[in-house]
Amino acid sequence: MLPDADTLPEILLDLAVPHQDINDLVALRRTVTADTGVVRLLEECVEELIRDIGEVGVEVPLHERVAEAPAALGPYFTVYVFVAALPHTRAYHRERGVTADVSRRTLADLGRNMAFHRRRHGTGGVEVPQWLTHHFRGELYQLGRLQFERARLGRRTGRAVAVTGLEAMPAEPCLNLHIPDFYGSLSPAACDRSLDLAREFFARCFPHERYRVAVCHSWLLDPQLKRHLDPDSNIVRFQERFEPGRDAGEEPEPADTEPVRFVFGDPDLPVGGLPRRTSVERAVGDHLRAGGHWYIGHGWFPL
């Protein structure tokens, strides 16, 4: 089920697993393989993860299952699940004509998530196991600067699309955009390139799904950021690509920890001590210290 101890490091490197974690993962491999109960749990997790691989919108409760692993494996158990699932994901990618480069850069988000975990907790582990189920199930692809998740248009965004005259079918396929961390700036040219790559990629690899609309749900689309940032900043220019994805009258839920998580690396940091080195850091912290809230912004644009 798992690659042998000599092969494991190169597979971990392909998944961009941070160097600091590799020796521990190779050493702990025996703790997994020597215990039939753990091997069974691993097999069940992989089986649940890849069941109906490629199907959109299937929720796999991976975070609940990995919590059943022995404490000695700690948050590393999730890594073995993804490593054991890898041959299935790669086979699915090959079947769809996903190139080896796109496949590798997509699945390297495992290492990015582990870097996020280390930045926040100072230890090895996967920060959000659930997030990576999309990658390993063939739903999400990194194409240049952005990640594109095959998704279905929600009721509210569908209504917002329909208002503009573009006929939106309920639950029609759409691409949900994500902006990975640890990837430099979000320049308009990098986004344009990424969108061009996506148009070609999805037409070629998923010709039976017609993607007419891109959507995004992110703290980066909170319109209040415009009040704090330079109009030429990449974040404001990114916002300008989007049409509003919600009715103006709709009451949003505060999501103050979202920008704190993505700007400072830890959603639980006390607001009083947040640094003020860049304009986004000042915007996020000053607004919260003044008693304001941040919200998830929702947007869409035609592809």
Ligand X SMILES: CC(C)(COP(=O)(O)OP(=O)(O)OC[C@H]1O[C@@H](n2cnc3c(N)ncnc32)[C@H](O)[C@@H]1OP(=O)(O)O)[C@@H](O)C(=O)NCCC(=O)NCCS
Interacting stretch for ligand X, rule CB under 6 A, among 72-80, 130-138, 149-157, 279-287? 279-287
190 binds ligand X (CB under 6 A): no
Query: Which one among 234, 244, 257, 269 touches ligand X, defined by CB under 6 A?
Result: 234
The Cβ-side half-sphere exposure at 240, using a 13 Å CA radius, reads: 11
110 binds ligand X (CB under 6 A): no
Which residue lies nearer to ligand X by CB, 90 or 226? 226
Nearest-approach distance from CB 139 to ligand X, in angstroms: 17
Interacting stretch for ligand X, rule CB under 6 A, among 46-54, 90-98, 179-187, 200-208? 179-187
186 binds ligand X (CB under 6 A): yes
Tokens 């916002």 found at: 239
131 binds ligand X (CB under 6 A): no
d(CA 238, CA 221): 8
221 binds ligand X (CB under 6 A): no
Query: Which one among 78, 147, 233, 239 touches ligand X, defined by CB under 6 A?
Result: 233
Phi and psi angles of residue 93, each rounded to the nearest 5 degrees, phi first: -60, -45
Which residue lies nearer to ligand X by CB, 46 or 179? 179
50 binds ligand X (CB under 6 A): no
235 binds ligand X (CB under 6 A): yes
Query: Which one among 48, 149, 243, 281 touches ligand X, defined by CB under 6 A?
Result: 281
d(CA 67, CA 74): 9
Tokens standing for residue 192: 């344009």
Which residue lies nearer to ligand X by CB, 70 or 292? 292
Residues that bind ligand X (CB under 6 A): 179, 181, 185-186, 218-220, 229, 233-235, 262-263, 278-281
